[in-house]
Chains A and B, each alone.
Chain A
Amino acid sequence: MTVTTTSMERVLTTLGHKEPDRVPLFLLLTLHGAKETGLPIREYFSSARNVVEGQLRLRARYGHDCYNSFFYAAIEMEAWGCETRFFDDGPPNSGPPIVSRACQIPGLLPPRVRECSRLQEVLRAISGLSERSAGEVPVIGVVMSPYSLPVMQLGFERYLDWQIEAPDAMDRLWRINEEFCVEWANAQLQAGATAVCYFDPLASPTITAPEVYRRTGWRFAKRCLARIAGPTATHLASGRCLPVIGDLAGTGTAAIGVSAIEDLSEVKRACAGRLTVIGNLNGIEMRRWTPAEAEAVVKEAIAGAASGGGFILSDNHGEIPWQVSDDTLMAISEAVRRWGEYPLRCRNE
């Protein structure tokens, strides 16, 4: 009798830093669901039903190991009253910032999740995916960290300027966002998300100096993750992580999404036994990979980081660009099956 390992078992085993039957694959697809269902991007994200259908079809096609309930980052800003700009061939963007003067910050109140129709749509998608997964496929929820969401609330320049010119206002803003982040993450877990991705690009040394992060964003991450009632993974959205890996481990996160611009083997060694590594296929280059190139890159990543478990193959940004072809996604999926079975046939650690 053949015993089939479910995606959930595969992922939980690797999160326990042990080797499952093969390397888990997270194809973090969002926009491709619109392609799959034949809908324009704006219409696709207008309904949870579309997103559930898109995710089911994508997993049926590529056989990866998760459902991704993420719509787009700007949807959180819709809860704060911000508009969203949609495009035909890329992720929606947040509209103009909602705060232009530091004196506005004390008057801000975190939106309540139950009162935001768009967030409720995401929760319906999570419930639908959770129901269909029947406990066999992890459903990934996503929140923007309270340290990173203010970039959309203020604009990036103001965010950086005010850290110098109005540090008290920034601290207040991060605290307000902390309340929203925790409520939003826990609502997703209650709706059926298996784990929450804590999306925190500002934590990366690519954006913020480590010593600044340690006295700002790190404190909020540690507090937030302790208040989120389920497992979390931290994603730095293509940013570097090596100088802050110890700090990230100290926040209580279980895994980190890592960048293609850092050596994957080195990252894995630094994380060993503490954090599961999620990454690091280059989503920008991916748009021009041939199937043979996709296989070579997958094989190299597995050789560099998969030994001993604690590794999930994924892209390096947390979202695969619209421009990546179905053939390339299929080549990645097939390469994981070809080279990712344990015991590994390729390893260079």
Chain B
Amino acid sequence: MPFEAAWSAQDAFLEALLETDRQAARQVLESARQLDTPAAVLETLVRPVLERIGNRWETGELALSQVYMSGRICEELIDTLQPDQGGHCAGSEPRVAIGVIEDHHALGKRVVLSFLRAAGVKVRDYGCGLSVDELVVRSRADRTLVLLVSALMLRSAMRIKDLVAALRNAELPVKVVAGGAPFVFDRRLAEAVGADAVGYNASDALAIVRRLLGGES
């Protein structure tokens, strides 16, 4: 797709998502699909728009509710875009997983999950309220390479330190990506708990996962 056309489609897609207009978003996506492969549409339309949305939340221009609904709509549309090779439900086994550690505040995890799946990344959802032991057992069983760990409360965010130690102790090659409000409010917290990376908004997760997997998603 030519640059100008891609940019115009991005604007239209962004506007449709922020207006929670599923029909308009679907039309933009289908128009793009007429011109490109599903993979190219993900790369030139969906992923850049989600990145813009995530970044605009971090700077205070957008609300979390808009980020959440955008992710939800994208996730729904992607399943129709490429039903035979769609993001999270087909192809090779996922090597990326996400869960909420010792905490039941699930919205942050849900948003990141939607963003990743909408961008074509296969992700296992480990759920909420997970103990360190549960995360280690599941990571081993699934041969997880990148584990995104969400936490809203400071006490659960600090538990990531125990998780990192347990994973290293078990000699599992898992990269731990931390995220959630405590990490936004203290930019040194991720280092303090020994996380391999930290995301400050949902779209950060896209770049981090891609980097940690070395291009494989």
- Residue contact B155 to A322, C-beta cutoff 8 Å: yes
Q: How far is the CB of B193 from chain A (nearest CB, A)?
A: 12
Any A CB within 8 A of the CB of B158? yes
C-alpha gap A209/B63 in the complex (Å): 5
- Residue contact A238 to B63, C-beta cutoff 8 Å: no
Most buried by B among A90, A91, A208: A90
Residues of B within 8 A of A212 (CB): 63, 65
Q: In chain B, what residue has the closest Cβ to A204?
A: B63
Once A157-B106, A321-B154 are accepted as A-B contacts, the answer to whether A284 and B60 lie under 8 Å apart by CB is no
Any A CB within 8 A of the CB of B131? no
Residues of B within 8 A of A288 (CB): 186, 188, 192
How big is chain A's contact interface, by range? 35 or more
Residues of B within 8 A of A91 (CB): 153
Q: How far is the CB of B37 from chain A (nearest CB, A)?
A: 31
Residues of A within 8 A of B104 (CB): 85, 93
- Per-residue CB contact flags for chain A residues 55-95 toward chain B (1 = under 8 Å, else 0) read 00000000000000000000000000000010101110100
Residues of A within 8 A of B185 (CB): 238, 260-261, 282-285
Return the contact of A89 from the options B20, B62, B155, B184 (Cβ within 8 A): B155
- Residue contact B155 to A284, C-beta cutoff 8 Å: no
Q: How far is the CB of A123 from chain B (nearest CB, A)?
A: 27
- Residue contact A207 to B65, C-beta cutoff 8 Å: yes
- Residue contact B155 to A323, C-beta cutoff 8 Å: yes
Residues of A within 8 A of B182 (CB): 284
Any B CB within 8 A of the CB of A155? yes
- Residue contact B186 to A157, C-beta cutoff 8 Å: no
- Residue contact A160 to B60, C-beta cutoff 8 Å: no
- Residue contact A208 to B63, C-beta cutoff 8 Å: yes
C-alpha gap A187/B68 in the complex (Å): 37
Query: Can you give 21 A-B contacts (C-beta < 8 A)?
Result: A85-B104, A89-B155, A90-B155, A93-B103, A155-B106, A156-B105, A161-B72, A164-B20, A207-B65, A209-B66, A240-B60, A262-B60, A282-B186, A283-B154, A283-B185, A284-B181, A284-B189, A288-B186, A321-B155, A322-B154, A323-B155
